[in-house]
Amino acid sequence: MNTRSLLVAVAAGMLALAVALPAAADTTTATVTVTGGSLSITAPAAAGSLGTWVNSVGGGTISGPLGQVQVNDARSAAAGSGWVVSVISTAFTPSTGPAIPASAVGYTAGTITKVGTATYTANNPGNLTGVVPAVTATGITGDNSATWNPTINVAVPGGMTAGVYSATVTHSVL
């Protein structure tokens, strides 16, 4: 083997050794933090007319959709926790004459569309005089949401004054 071939072979070996074995190495640990979000509820600002009833001596019930209600729970809640949506209504009052009391107002949640892991229960209260549970979520694991379009049922007593009656229905979640 001549000198030139020997030098090429030695240089190639040193180059291979330099590529294969770094002189030094250092590592860095990086982290990210995800914090729990919030528990929130949205409901329509105005439902419009729930329906019409022709006055009669015996009274009757007017029922209509309130509009979509949605709860979003991004708290990363502990397994098994839950939340409760409560509802309350004022009396349905006309411009003149007696009101239809909140005790004559009922709430039916209807179908609940679910996202995430939880058990959802429609409580369907028949009297909205005080704050009452409307929908309950239990057995939550992680984030979840629920959406429904409740029906408001107003038992109109017989002999009411003709006119437009209005009320405020308030939802809250804890």
pLDDT in tens, 83-117: 999 999 999 999 999 999 999 999 999 999 999 99
36-173 CATH pick, 1.10.8, 2.40.50, 1.10.287, 2.60.40: 2.60.40
Q: What local confidence, expressed as pLDDT, does residue 2 receive?
A: 60
Q: How many CB atoms lie within 10 A of CB 92?
A: 22
Q: What is the mean pLDDT of residues 13-20?
A: 53
Cβ(57)–Cβ(158) below 8 Å: yes
pLDDT value at position 11? Answer: 52
pLDDT > 70? residue 10? no
> What is the residue-averaged pLDDT of the chain?
89
Statement: residue 19 has pLDDT above 90: no
For residue 68, the surrounding DSSP H or E stretch is none
Question: CA-CA distance, 62 to 96, in Å (whole number)?
Answer: 20
Closest CA to 141 of 83, 75, 77: 77
Give the model's pLDDT for residue 21. Answer: 60
Domain boundaries, given as residue ranges, for the chain: 36-173
Partnered with residue 137 across adjacent β-strands are 83, 120
d(CA 88, CA 170): 5
